[in-house]
């Protein structure tokens, strides 16, 4: 199985800060990576697919890049409504696998 | 915009089975995989398996092999996930998800005697 390692596991930042989350795959997954956002008590939402493509309706402050084994997710200017846990997911090979999640809080 | 709508919460006894449905509204199934993912209380996301609806081809995570069955009815745009031999550790929210449609709202399955 492909292991997905996210870092950090949690972070605290101020409103307006730039936030960066890393996701490393244990083997090459090309650009077959999704980023999801899960707000407390809610179902996850798909934010970014194919590593860098923003889902329709997702604010432009969210972004993703990378290919192969290393990927980055960014929030260019953290907003209060961005408080959530963020997960990366690879769909290059079965079983599909998730990172352990990064909990983002407001400082 | 396609949406995924899941069936309601279930309470089950240990050893029994549960079948959760996921209906695609506002669109039709495609060649994209529809996956089932679960989330135990306070835990992360765990992929259980998936199906390519138009081919009716299912894939399962090794952990659930033999206990989970994923099917799809293309005539009603509905996918199903059945989990058998339930135990307390299967208490979780079960989600269906697809690149084409995002996530369902989740179905809480509680396993308790």
pLDDT, tens digit, for every residue of A86-102? 999 999 999 999 999 99
| 8 A C-beta contact, residue A60 and residue A53 | no
Given this model, what pLDDT does residue B26 score?
Answer: 83
For residue B56, pLDDT beyond 90: no
Tell me the C-alpha distance between A67 and A1, whole Å: 18
CB contact under 8 A, A43 and B106: yes
Percent of chain B at pLDDT above 90? Answer: 80
Distance from CA of A86 to the nearest CA of B (A): 10
Bond preceding residue B20 cis, omega within 30 of 0: no
Give the C-alpha separation, B24 to A61, whole Å. 29
Mean pLDDT of B57-81: 94
Q: Are residues A49 and B99, on separate chains, in Cβ contact within 8 Å?
A: yes
The whole-number average pLDDT for the span B22-44 is 89
Confidence check: pLDDT of A78 > 90: yes
CB contacts, 8 Å: A89 with chain B: 45, 47
d(CA A4, CA A28): 11
Strands of chain B (E only): list them.
3-6, 10-12, 18-25, 34-39, 46-52, 57-60, 68-73, 78-83, 92-98, 102-103, 107-111
Q: Which of residues 35-74 of B touch A (CB under 8 A)?
A: 35, 37, 44-47, 49-50, 59, 61-62
Q: Report the pLDDT value the prediction gives residue B32, as an integer from 0 to 100.
A: 80
- What pLDDT score was predicted for residue B27? 78
Q: Which residues contact B31 (CB under 8 A, 6 or more apart)?
A: B52, B54, B55
Torsion of CA B91, B97, B101, B102, to 10 degrees: 70
The predicted structure's pLDDT at residue A93:
94
How distant, in Å, are the alpha carbons of A48, A74, B49 from that of A65? 10, 9, 27
DSSP state of A58: -
């Amino acid at each position: 199985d492909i292991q997905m390692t996210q870092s950090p596991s949690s972070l605290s930042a101020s409103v307006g800060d730039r936030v960066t989350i890393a996701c490393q795959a244990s083997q090459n997954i090309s650009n077959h990576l999704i980023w999801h956002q899960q707000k407390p008590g809610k179902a996850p939402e798909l934010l970014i697919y194919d590593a860098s493509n923003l889902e329709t309706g997702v604010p432009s402050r969210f972004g993703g890049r990378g290919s192969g084994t290393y990927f980055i997710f960014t929030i260019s200017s953290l907003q209060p409504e961005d408080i959530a846990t963020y997960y990366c997911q690879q769909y290059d090979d079965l079983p599909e696998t998730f990172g352990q999640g990064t909990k983002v809080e407001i400082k | 915009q396609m949406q995924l709508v899941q069936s309601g919460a279930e309470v089950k006894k240990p050893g029994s089975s549960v079948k959760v449905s996921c209906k695609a509204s506002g669109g039709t199934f495609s060649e994209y995989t529809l996956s089932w993912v679960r989330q135990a209380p306070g835990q992360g996301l765990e992929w259980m398996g998936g199906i390519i609806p138009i081919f009716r081809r299912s894939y399962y995570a090794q952990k659930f092999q033999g206990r989970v069955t994923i099917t799809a009815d293309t005539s009603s745009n509905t996918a199903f996930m059945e989990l058998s031999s339930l135990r307390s550790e299967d208490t979780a929210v079960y989600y269906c998800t697809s690149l084409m449609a995002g996530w369902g709202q989740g179905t809480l399955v509680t396993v308790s005697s």
